[in-house]
Amino acid sequence: MINKKILIGLSIFGLLSACTSPTVMIGPAYTFTSTGSIAQAGLTYGSNELVTNYTGKTAIENLETITSNNLSIKKNIHKKTLESEDFYHLVKNRIKKTRNIIKSSSQ
């Protein structure tokens, strides 16, 4: 009798598991187990839902968008720095100083 109940329960759970996104509750479940506070877990879930409703993206998708934008900005700054005239003169002066030091030490 118990095996039938378990089998029926697992079957129903398997059929209905696609009706909801089980990963939505991972964050609040972890918060509840680590802190023991239902209020904090509810706040975590609620804030995630607010972000999703406001932006249309999950918090992780927003984070990926922000990081990819920052990386492209940093790449452009590095490129501008390497192509600038000041950087060229700085490197040229350092090479001259190093050559003079090597010449003076070899004599």
Query: How do the domains of the chain map onto residue ranges?
Result: 2-56
pLDDT of residue 22: 56
Between 40 and 104, the more confident residue is 104
pLDDT of residue 17: 63
* pLDDT range class, residue 55, cuts 50, 70, 90: confident
pLDDT of residue 96: 92
- Rounded Cα gap, residues 37 and 32, in angstroms: 6
Q: What residues contact residue 8 under an 8 Å CB cut-off, 6+ apart?
A: none
Scan for tokens 């975590």, then name that residue.
44
Q: Write down the pTM of the prediction.
A: 0.37
**Can you read off the two tokens belonging to residue 68?**
């990819």
